[in-house]
Amino acid sequence: MRKSAPHTPLARAILDAYAQGQEDELLEPHVLVDSENNPIGRISKDDSVIFYDIRGEREIELTQALTQKGFPHFTTDELRLAFATMIRYKKGLGVRVAFPPLEGLRNTLGEVLSQNAKSVIKITEAEKAIHLAYFLNGKREEPYPGEERIVAPTRKDVATFDQAPAMSADQVGQETCKALADPGADVVIVNLCNVDVVGHIENPDAVIEAIETVDSALDRIITCARNNGVASLITADHGTVERWRYPEGAVDTGHTSSPVPCIIDAQGEFVLREQGRLSDVAPTILDIMGLPQPAEMTGQSLIQGNAPASKRLLLLILDGWGHNDEDYGNMIRKARTPNFDGLWATRPHCLLAAAGDAVGLPQKGVGNSEVGHLHIGAGRRILSDRVKIDKAIENGSFMRNEAFLWAIEEARRKGRPLHLLGIVSFYSSHGSLDHLRALLRMCRAQKVEPVYVHAMLGRRGERPEAGARYVGMIEKECRELGVGQVVSVIGRYWSLDREENWDRIEKTYRWLVQGEGTMITAE
């Protein structure tokens, strides 16, 4: 990486930060300054901003800080920005949305259970609350009638979760056993998030501890389910740590394209298909509970023949637990997982496709928690935002997008800068360099200037030190296009938060607006 590193100011500064022990995700803010140390390209009153990230749940807090009048969490300026987002991050943000969500996703698992007067309890910790609520319900923010949500607090006494790999799994387990003991709880849906969250951190001992924590919680929860006569379906939303190393040995902290396991623990003799998709989970649950499958659910029950009948069911999602038959780089095989192994050996099981076309992603796209939970709950294949945006770039409609054109026209009308804000990555589930490049080409076609790029880095699915190379690539592309300038860089840890760590968002706000950070002199 270092031999081919680009010779541009910010890219060189990032390489220097690597040498001092920093890495992409935790990179301290860096700001380009002129010869008199004045920050270049800060977001100011009446400017235009395009936040080009996708996925959305980690983009809400920063968007609120930049746009919300009377923002309560720290002192902000009234910027009155012309603010557009790539997708809708949350209802009511008061921004223009380039690619609105598919509305009216009917007859998801949650809706069908509610229509049949089933009581549903969802349990996880705050780190994954939005996935069990919003995404599992087909991107519906409001709970369905009969749905209760229990969210264990995620620990805030550690900077990163490799310092506490157990996270709040014990409390999640306690709450789950309480729900399973309640005969009025028809369906209990649980997410254990340790493997996914800790797997994104380059700390092998912590990853092993996270896996073993989940295996222990699995045993406790399944025992509670059995003691209360509740059938269980155990699966995952995507893979992570089962392919934790690249072929040459470097750690791969990103998601994977692996299938995920599916195990059904229920009374009776039954057989599962060998292969399925995440969209088959909801039909399988309805099959077990004897509920009719709506026409909108195009997935199929995984059970061949007669299903085991159960009035109550546990859906347990082991977040990030993928399947890999090989030993190399497989942290799950390296860990002690007697409880999972016992279930896999003795109960009906199969593998589910959780990446690529099976979950509406590009053919070689890795899975993620958003699309994983969305497909588990929807019971059908749903085209992802990334694919929709890629198709718009391909057919040219991206360049005619009304939200983008509005932000550009507002910048031109007011004589103010346009800012492009977002992840700089090819592999992140939060966005793509291809989308940023398309926006830069659009800016050139629209003859808007100045255009400033504010880059967020995060090594998930990236090779070590990829951030410096990507920033150098964008700086080079800006020069070739004759439009745009990368003026600041920060690690996504500070900017893409979803747990109300407002100190991190404030740090990002001050980086963007006030130019606080390591000063890098422009050439």
Q: Where residue 126 sits, what CATH number does that domain have?
A: 3.40.720.10
171 plus 48 within the same structural domain: no
Residue among 120, 44, 61 at smallest CA distance from 414: 44
Question: What CATH number does residue 51 fall under?
Answer: 3.40.1450
Domain final position from 347, 381, 415: 381
From first to last of its 523 residues, the chain has per-residue pLDDT tens of 344 445 688 998 999 999 999 988 899 999 999 999 999 999 999 999 999 999 888 999 999 999 999 999 999 999 999 999 999 999 899 999 999 987 668 999 999 999 999 999 999 999 999 999 999 999 998 999 999 999 999 888 998 899 999 999 999 999 999 999 999 999 999 999 999 999 999 999 999 999 999 999 999 999 999 999 999 999 999 999 999 999 889 899 889 999 999 999 999 999 999 999 999 999 999 999 999 999 999 999 999 999 999 999 999 999 999 999 999 999 999 999 999 999 999 999 999 999 999 999 988 889 999 999 999 999 999 999 999 999 999 999 999 999 999 999 999 999 999 999 999 987 777 888 999 999 999 999 999 999 999 999 986 666 777 889 899 999 999 999 999 999 999 999 999 998 899 999 999 999 999 999 999 998 7
Residue 458's pLDDT is 83
Tell how far CA 139 is from the center of its chain.
Answer: 14
Residue 7's pLDDT is 62
Domain final position from 333, 350, 381: 381
Tokens of 172: 């999640």
Q: What is the DSSP letter of 292?
A: P
d(CA 357, CA 237): 15
153 Cβ partners below 8 Å, 6+ apart? 125, 126, 168, 171
Strands ordered across the beta sheet of 349-353: 147-152, 120-125, 187-192, 313-318, 231-235, 260-265, 349-353, 275-277
277 located within any domain: no
43 plus 185 within the same structural domain: no
275 located within any domain: no
251 plus 391 within the same structural domain: no
Residue 515's pLDDT is 96
d(CA 246, CA 252): 6
283 located within any domain: no
Q: Identify whether the C-beta of residue 33 lies closer than 8 Å to the C-beta of residue 522.
A: yes
Residue among 255, 130, 258 at smallest CA distance from 200: 255
Tokens of 344: 């896999």
Residue 461's pLDDT is 61
Residue 6's pLDDT is 53
- Tell me the β-bridge partners of 455: 422, 489
Q: Identify whether the C-beta of residue 102 lies closer than 8 Å to the C-beta of residue 382.
A: yes
Alpha helices by DSSP H, 359-488: 369-378, 385-395, 402-414, 433-446, 466-481
d(CA 401, CA 397): 6
Residue 5's pLDDT is 47
Q: What are phi and psi of 269, to 5 degrees?
A: -100, 125
Tell me the pTM.
0.82
d(CA 428, CA 457): 10
Q: Identify whether the C-beta of residue 187 lies closer than 8 Å to the C-beta of residue 119.
A: yes
239 plus 310 within the same structural domain: yes
286 located within any domain: no
Q: Are strands 485-491 and 451-457 parallel, antiparallel or unpaired?
A: parallel
Secondary structure class of 426 (helix, strand, coil) = coil
Q: Virtual CA dihedral for 93, 96, 102, 106, nearest 10 degrees?
A: 40
How many domains does one find in the chain?
Answer: 2
115 plus 68 within the same structural domain: no
> Domain span at residue 126?
109-264+292-381
Neighbours of 394 (CB within 10 A): 10
189 plus 316 within the same structural domain: yes
Residue 464's pLDDT is 73
